[in-house]
Structure 1
Amino acid sequence: MRHATPYPENVLPRTYDSQNCSVARALEVVGDRWTLLIIRSAFEGVRRFDDFQDDLGIARNVLTDRLTRLCDEGLLRRVRYQERPDRFEYRLTRKGVELWPAVMTLLLWGDRHYAPDGPPVIIGHRGCDGRLTARLTCDACGASLGPRDVEARPGPGA
């Protein structure tokens, strides 16, 4: 689907305000590489600033910016876990958890097209050790799976 744009064909605008498109609006929030990787790490249980930084190798200023934006957009919430000094962790909100199907679909697509040695991570069903399918079900027992039903394990391409 092609949308009319006032921009030259080889120049992508910084925002998508002129487009009446839900994909464009969603990209305004999660269309940045670091943002999706932060969300992925949050699904894997990462919650604290230093742990995000260690997990991703991201610059502190970039991480601060993305975490602030994700909180402002309501995908993460900042929760104090220590006083003196104040320390916070970042937890997925319901809105953030709703990204799980999109993140898993992107992961499986990447496994099919960009993992020549096999998936680096296997998303397994905790209940029976089956694997996540593109339909977000377990390939062994057929159960519908959500973020609480699965765990990430090293795959052959790790």
Structure 2
Amino acid sequence: MKTILAIDLGKRNSVFCRLEASSLKPEYFKARTGPQKFHNIFAELDGSNSIVLFEVGSQAGWLCDMLRAMRIEFKVANVNHAAWKWTNNPNKSDKTDAHRLAMMYHHGFFPEVYVPVKSVRQKRSLIYYRQRIVKRLTLETRDSHQLKLKNPATLS
């Protein structure tokens, strides 16, 4: 049967929930968040008979790149979905988040989001950075122009 490995990513530590689709008995473990440790965990998986699930976030990019390189199927959850709202989830913890990911996938209610390849993410990041610089320069130019209009004699 298919093995579901759901991950609640954290800055330092991540919680894993391994779920066999046949028994639905969860097995939890923690690991330091980092490429080498995750690679070792993913190397133990049967790539053709398992799937990795995790939430979208700042760590999702390198994790997607690693899973694509290892040819392991993965899905990324959209955390803006109603299932992740605090009002629908009063008891939030790393364990319950990882378990919820696995169960939502198993029951077919997984709110998926697409994460593009690294080159596309880098290009989008560069475009966003450039837009922020242009916006900041425009604001500074406008502010200095406003000062000149308010005090024409002192700034000339």
Q: Same fold (TM over 0.5)?
A: no
Higher relative contact order, structure no. (Cα contacts within 8 Å, ≥ 6 residues apart)? 2
TM bracket (short chain): under 0.3
**What TM-score, normalized by structure 1, do the two folds share?**
0.25
Q: TM-score, normalised by structure 2?
A: 0.25
Q: Which protein is richer in strand relative to its size?
A: 2
